[in-house]
Structure 1
């Protein structure tokens, strides 16, 4: 415990020294959670405790590169304004000395427990050189955490066709009087799967079953599982690694999606349907959900992608979270939309009604680099239409959202978005009649919500500071039935 406190103190001091240098950098997001300095990846421990939302994250405080993982920590009363807190977990014990990997949080007896994977690198072939166990830390105040006596609480991988090395990312919840946990795993011959455990007290865990396993093109490892009930269905969210591209789908290095069905908690059997993606853009991974005191299911994800170029690393930081998204069920699909609390950020409203676009135009007072756009488009006779944002004509920069009506396909194109990786991502829509768009642009990100969350596309982009233009285009006239633009404070 002494080593843990010492390591936390050192990490907090380093972040404190570095953060002022980068706090006003041009690509630092204004209304998203980012690390004050250093590296960020997966959201962890997303929870509600003592009247506040808590969000932890995988954090390397000593550099903007991935390294031995700590848990960074922020909290919020409203999911909009986030307060930076001291780092919550540091590698320190023989079972987690090389990293406190991803996990979750749960309240029990008025205390907040973190459940996480302790990682240790051991000698052996690459990717077979790790020992992973599950451990607990506890806090009375939700800020200062101590690792419990008796760790790790799960020290061995169960028998059967379960890979010996990859065993991580516990998500814990309570159902009735029992606690349950899902863990990311794979088979011995590299097929992704998820394990289910139960406990009466968070300390003593029993393995129930392999609750779900990949078939066909579903990857070699399922990371960051999350199981919850919504509208009478059981939903398993996970991040499969190694899914191969199929048509317009699965073009990121790793994916994040869900399957839906019904869990039999006695047998651990889960009958479910096919995999559906949660986001069709470039930068979305390891989503984690929580249920708040209003009974809403809220999701946040890492808004970056493994092995992508990250231009902010040159300036001492990397990684960001998506805006929090409300998860609802419609027509047996998950829809995700911005939490309504984000409306608090809106300033200086600009509104146009029944505005006709033909060709390519800019619209007065509709521009910026930190804003929300909401619009309803009547596409009329047009076969192709869309908008360009973060436009800088002097340097030929733009990010393009392009709709092709005949195919019902939308393309997000960042080939001219500035620094960083380019590419395109596509999604198929049910219809483009009265198309509804809600677009959140921040200093180095964009999140596009289409038709009330039917499809979502997230991307990091790294344009110049003067790239503030927005243009609308159509190959024949379209009507913006409504167009709202707000600056976001």
Structure 2
């Protein structure tokens, strides 16, 4: 793999010839792991979803982007627009690192509407000659022609006293006539925190204070915060860095999760339950939510992790975004479901009923590389269930369910080349209720597993070869009566 110098990582895209950029696009397009119905970078590296909003009849979806290679370097925002969150039209780089305040990267942020116009608030990253970081919060306004005009100076020039320059990722929300921005931060003694700013005119922002939680020692930095009201509850999402693994919990290098409770915004007190992980797979980070045309709360995440090398790196691209998920709180628990509009991608349906046991493994004619698979468990007398996807003689992605413990495990040890470094080759979660259904989205190099109508989700990248197309079901002992419904899926662009 290429060793990147600092100068190469921070070379502007504009300094590279159009011929070179077009050649990079052509090379990336030939990668055997290119996805078909997920947003992915045309070149280079994609990370955090940013600026998600429904505005003036369209969805605006952006993501962090380093265009020149599969490494973290000088970041831009790459934008898509969509009318249905299924088919996306690329609009290129809309925010660029072209001022003194964001000279070393347009970092994460959010979109909001003010007086009928679209605005973005984001973190500008600047480095001095000694490579010391300065983080400030900037705003850009979308003009009538679709271009963005940045405000001349930062709205928040730096962190308040007692916090470091790890101060970023503003998520703007509105309560009444007041706009709030919740930011991730780090104290000077290296503890993760959430800070709140407020404004009535989006020009003058006042530090409102630190959000009070019961998580006093919970990682050294909290990234990508989000706040929203949902089904009578307040939800705060964030990504703590520096959490030690605890059995099956917190196995990834960094975590993404949420708190449910009631937030007294004036007193800055969040009365909440336990911190719960949003996703139990290998590759999920930096999620952001927004409100759909119909008022649903929608989540999109980054299907990847920082500080991890992926098999696509050799093809000069990395990562994708998850499919959009609708969020609801039911019986005090957050549920995530693939949005209904994804059904527009369905092109061919195959349905079958049958028993699976220790000896019955292959269900014809099921095979494929890009599909949606719904497995309904109608009767279960088995001790353990096994579902193999993207299977061949040498490869498979294995889902195991233990009937007694209700533990569901994703095993990608035989899924092809693996990202590294990663803690182990399995991820597990214990379901609240017995397994009744799996809804699974499989793309060329990813799998997203929705358990029991959104009770749990496991999101992961997998990198099988083109011959691994089989779908199999079996048991350890006993038998299970299943209904399989498989849909082929068209490309989303």
**1:149-298 equivalence runs, <5 A:** 149=152, 151-159=153-161, 162-213=162-213, 215=215, 218-298=218-298
Task: Indicate yes or no: 2:448 matched with 1:447.
Answer: yes
Q: Which moved more, 1:284-293 or 1:184-193?
A: 184-193
For 1:139 and 1:15, the matched residues in 2 are separated by 27
CA-to-aligned-CA distance 1:383-402 (integer Å, 9 cap, x gap): 11120111121xx1111101
For 2:167 and 2:222, the matched residues in 1 are separated by 10
**1:446-485 equivalence runs, <5 A:** 446-485=447-486
For 1:216 and 1:475, the matched residues in 2 are separated by 44
Task: Indicate yes or no: 2:297 matched with 1:331.
Answer: no
Give unmatched runs, 5+ long, in structure 2.
1-10
For 1:376 and 1:430, the matched residues in 2 are separated by 17
Q: 1:344 — aligned with what?
A: 344
For 1:7 and 1:121, the matched residues in 2 are separated by 15
For 1:32 and 1:136, the matched residues in 2 are separated by 28
Check conservation: 1:231, 1:329, Cα contact below 8 A: yes
Check conservation: 1:381, 1:478, Cα contact below 8 A: yes
Label 1:298 to 1:11 Cα distance change in 2 as closer, same or farther (>3 A): farther
TM-score, normalized by length of structure 1? 0.93
Q: 2:402 aligns with which of 401, 404, 412?
A: 404
Q: 2:110 — aligned with what?
A: 104
Check conservation: 2:12, 2:74, Cα contact below 8 A: no
For 2:389 and 2:340, the matched residues in 1 are separated by 24
> How far apart are residue 479 of structure 1 and its match?
3.1
> How far apart are residue 219 of structure 1 and its match?
1.1
Check conservation: 1:31, 1:442, Cα contact below 8 A: yes
For 2:365 and 2:144, the matched residues in 1 are separated by 46
CA-to-aligned-CA distance 1:298-340 (integer Å, 9 cap, x gap): 0000001122221111112111000000011111111101000
Check conservation: 1:111, 1:142, Cα contact below 8 A: no
> How far apart are residue 206 of structure 1 and its match?
0.8
> How far apart are residue 263 of structure 1 and its match?
1.6
Secondary structure of 2:25's partner? helix
CA-to-aligned-CA distance 1:435-484 (integer Å, 9 cap, x gap): 11000000000000000111100000111111111111102343344210
Alignment length, in residue pairs?
475
For 2:145 and 2:323, the matched residues in 1 are separated by 22
Check conservation: 2:213, 2:271, Cα contact below 8 A: no
> How far apart are residue 196 of structure 1 and its match?
0.8
Check conservation: 1:184, 1:223, Cα contact below 8 A: yes
Q: Which moved more, 1:230-239 or 1:378-387?
A: 378-387
Secondary structure of 1:312's partner? helix
Check conservation: 2:212, 2:268, Cα contact below 8 A: no
> How far apart are residue 348 of structure 1 and its match?
1.5
> How far apart are residue 260 of structure 1 and its match?
1.3
Q: 1:430 — aligned with what?
A: 432
For 2:145 and 2:114, the matched residues in 1 are separated by 12
Give unmatched runs, 5+ long, in structure 1.
1-5
Label 1:367 to 1:246 Cα distance change in 2 as closer, same or farther (>3 A): same
TM-score, normalized by length of structure 2? 0.92
Label 1:55 to 1:318 Cα distance change in 2 as closer, same or farther (>3 A): same
Secondary structure of 1:18's partner? helix
Q: Which moved more, 1:374-383 or 1:78-87?
A: 374-383
Q: 2:4 — aligned with what?
A: none
Q: Which moved more, 1:279-288 or 1:419-428?
A: 419-428
CA-to-aligned-CA distance 1:223-251 (integer Å, 9 cap, x gap): 00000000111100001111111111100
Label 1:378 to 1:357 Cα distance change in 2 as closer, same or farther (>3 A): farther
Check conservation: 1:58, 1:71, Cα contact below 8 A: yes
Check conservation: 1:15, 1:36, Cα contact below 8 A: no
Q: Which moved more, 1:224-233 or 1:370-379?
A: 370-379
Label 1:217 to 1:417 Cα distance change in 2 as closer, same or farther (>3 A): farther
Q: Which moved more, 1:207-216 or 1:23-32?
A: 207-216
Label 1:123 to 1:131 Cα distance change in 2 as closer, same or farther (>3 A): same
Q: 2:5 — aligned with what?
A: none
Q: 1:309 — aligned with what?
A: 309
For 1:166 and 1:214, the matched residues in 2 are separated by 21
Check conservation: 1:304, 1:319, Cα contact below 8 A: yes
Q: Which moved more, 1:416-425 or 1:10-19?
A: 10-19
For 2:113 and 2:457, the matched residues in 1 are separated by 31
Check conservation: 1:191, 1:214, Cα contact below 8 A: no
CA-to-aligned-CA distance 1:52-94 (integer Å, 9 cap, x gap): 1111111001222110111111111101011111201111111
For 1:374 and 1:478, the matched residues in 2 are separated by 19
Q: 1:65 aligns with which of 64, 71, 74?
A: 71
| Coordinate RMSD, CA, aligned | 2.0
Secondary structure of 1:314's partner? helix
Label 1:292 to 1:8 Cα distance change in 2 as closer, same or farther (>3 A): farther
For 1:391 and 1:142, the matched residues in 2 are separated by 49
Task: Indicate yes or no: 2:47 matched with 1:41.
Answer: yes
> How far apart are residue 379 of structure 1 and its match?
5.4
Q: 2:123 aligns with which of 101, 104, 117?
A: 117
Check conservation: 1:172, 1:181, Cα contact below 8 A: yes
